[in-house]
Every structure is written in C-alpha cells, then in structure tokens.
A and B are shown apart, each in its own frame.
Chain A
Amino acid sequence: MSSVKLVGVVLVSHSAKLADGLAELVRELGGDQVPVIAAGGMDDGSLGTSYGRIEEAVREADQGAGVLLLGDLGSALLTVKTLLDEGVGKEARAVLADAPFVEGAVAAVVTASAGGDLEAVRAAAEEARLFRKL
C-alpha cells in the first residue's frame, strides 16, 4: 500500500542554530511524517544563507508532493528567489512562502501533516502574517 506523500518544508535562516531549533520545534507538530529540513548558516558555520545548503535541503524535503520554503529575513528570501529562478527545485515543485518564519513554519507543518497540498500549505503559512498573539 503506498503512503500518502506529504509536502516538505525547508527552513532557510542566516543562523544554523535558528533553523535547526525551529525544525526541532515544528517536527513534532508534523508527527515526524512531514519532511522538515533546516538550511541555516554558511558552510563554515558563520551567519548567512548558503545556496548549496538550500539546494540540498530542497532535495531532501521532496517526497513528490511539493516543497515549501520559508525564510527568516529578506536576504534569505532573495537567495531562495534567485535559486528558484535558476530552476532549482523545479521538479520538486519548490515554492517560497511570504510568511513569518516561526509562525509560518508551524502553520505549514500542521497543514502538511493533515495532508494539505502545496497550495494549501503555502496559504496556511502566509495567513500566519495575520495572526495576533496577544
């Protein structure tokens, strides 16, 4: 019996710790079924966004149902945009969400775990912009 393929989530951050930490936090929400891949920091461990890491993360997150990327700051999104423009992740159907990093990731993983398709997962992440916390 084939299992349902879930949308994967890639977390792009300037900080490896931030990306790893957020991944750890949201993985539980996905019941460990949703591929949540952290792509933070540069290869030498310094702060920054690494094209190579993101590319690799997209591959790892791809189960065949699409991949949603989230970024921490504007420059992370620029790197992802450039990467996607170059055609990286085209087969994996990788798309970038315009969403808050933490709240968007939570919304994305929860929606993905419920079997949401790529569009639903992206929409959920982007709706997180509207959430009030207090």
Chain B
Amino acid sequence: MSVEQRDADNPELNARFFLVWIGRIAEAIAEEKDRLTDLDAAIGDGDHGTNLNRGFTAVRAALEAKQPESPGAVLVTVGGTLISTVGGASGPLYGTVFRRMGKALGEAESVTVQDLAAAFEAGLEGLCKLGGANVGDKTMVDVFAPAVDAFKSAAGDGASAERSAFNLAADVAEAGARETIPRRARKGRASYLGERSEGHEDPGAASAALIWRALAQTAAAG
C-alpha cells in the first residue's frame, strides 16, 4: 500500500495518532486527578478525578490488549471501556462521546480532519441526547459544544489551516471551562447545590478541556 504524501504541517490521523491522544488524556487525567477531585468536592461528590483515572487506566489496558488498527476501533474501545469502568456520570457521558465518534469514523485506517470534525459532532449529539444538558447548564457540554463548533469551522473544507483547528479548539475548550465558573449548575449532582455551585469550575468541564488540549498537543507533536 502506498503511503500518502502528507503535508508536513498536518498530522496523519491514523490509529497511532488516536492512541497517542488517548495516552495523553490518560496522563493528563492522572496528573490532574486531585485537582479534578477537589473541584468535584466543592460542588459534587468528590470523585470525578478518581473515577476518570480509574476509567482511563482501564482504557490503557484495553487498548494494549485489543491493539485496535483503525481510529474508529480505537475510539469505540475507549468509549466502551469508559462506560463500564468509570462508575460515575462521566462514564456513560464520555463513553458515549467516544463510542459515537468511533462509530462515525468507521474502519478507515486514516481519516481526514473533516471526518474527525463530523465524528466530534456525532459525539456531541450523543452526549446531549444522553445527558440532556444545554450550553449554560454548567457541564462538559459548555466545553464540548463550542470546541466542536470551532474545530468544525477551522477544519473547513480542506484548507491548509487544518493544524490550527486543533489549537483553536483547545483554546475555545479551555475558555468554555473557565466560563462555567460563575454559572449555576442545572444538571448533575451540583444542581442540588443551586446558588452554592456558583464560583466553582465544573469538574466535567475541566476534564473536557484537558481532553481537547491533549488533542492539540498530539497534533502539534505529530
């Protein structure tokens, strides 16, 4: 099989890329575990970091065991593992995102940035349908919705601005997470706190931002 000529500025989105991305997420989660848990202690039940760390540790093991050969297969494995191992709400929520993304990417060994943008859209749709959150409810949707939008716009229709799509989306994601700080929670355990949830960053939004930054780092290194 001939190797496609790749523009040096744009990463090849093959299984390896996705494995590296997931590995970075797992590392970031492990590093930030306590911060995520502290955020969750402030407005949740104090287990977000621990739960996600358990989930992504299991993800690493599952990927090691399965050795998926396509981007789609990688993400489907990630999603399925998260659904069954995280233990908290973020398990089914993130699990559904990754699973939907994986299904959208199908079995192609390499995908385009536009494919990835479409996959993110499918993931976001699954997320919103399952959790029922809207932007402004102070959840991970406050990160995912604008980030997916930014990524989709910047990915465009194949223009050379592809690499910057990743950085842009990560910046938008981090801004989205910060924007949850003043909001009142309208979903999840934090919603029981009402006014007292204001002034704290949503832990799901925080972890979502980590996911997008890990993606940008993977693209930059690629």
Contacts and interface: CB of A to CB of B under 8 A. Distances in A.
Partners in one complex: yes
B92 A82 contact: yes
Interface SS of A by simple majority: helix
B87 A82 contact: no
Given A46-B87, A48-B87, A51-B83, A79 B92 contact: yes
B130 interface: yes
Given A47-B47, A48-B51, A73-B189, A78 B87 contact: no
B189 A79 contact: no
B169 interface: no
A79 B51 contact: no
Nearest to A43: B85
B83 A79 contact: yes
B51 A82 contact: no
Interface residues of A, number: 18
Main secondary structure of the interface of B (DSSP, over half): helix
B189 A78 contact: no
Interface string A60-76: 00000000000001110
B126 to A, nearest CB: 9
Contacts of B189: 73-75
Interface in A12-62: 14, 42, 46-52
Contact of A81 (B51, B85, B130, B188): B130
B188 A74 contact: yes
A81 B96 CA distance: 11
A52 B84 contact: yes
B176 interface: no
A48 B86 CA distance: 8
A2 B51 CA distance: 46
A49 B84 CA distance: 8
Interface string B80-122: 0001111111011101100000000000000000000000000
A63 B188 CA distance: 34
Given A47-B47, A73-B189, A78 B84 contact: no
Contacts of B95: 82
A85 B84 CA distance: 14
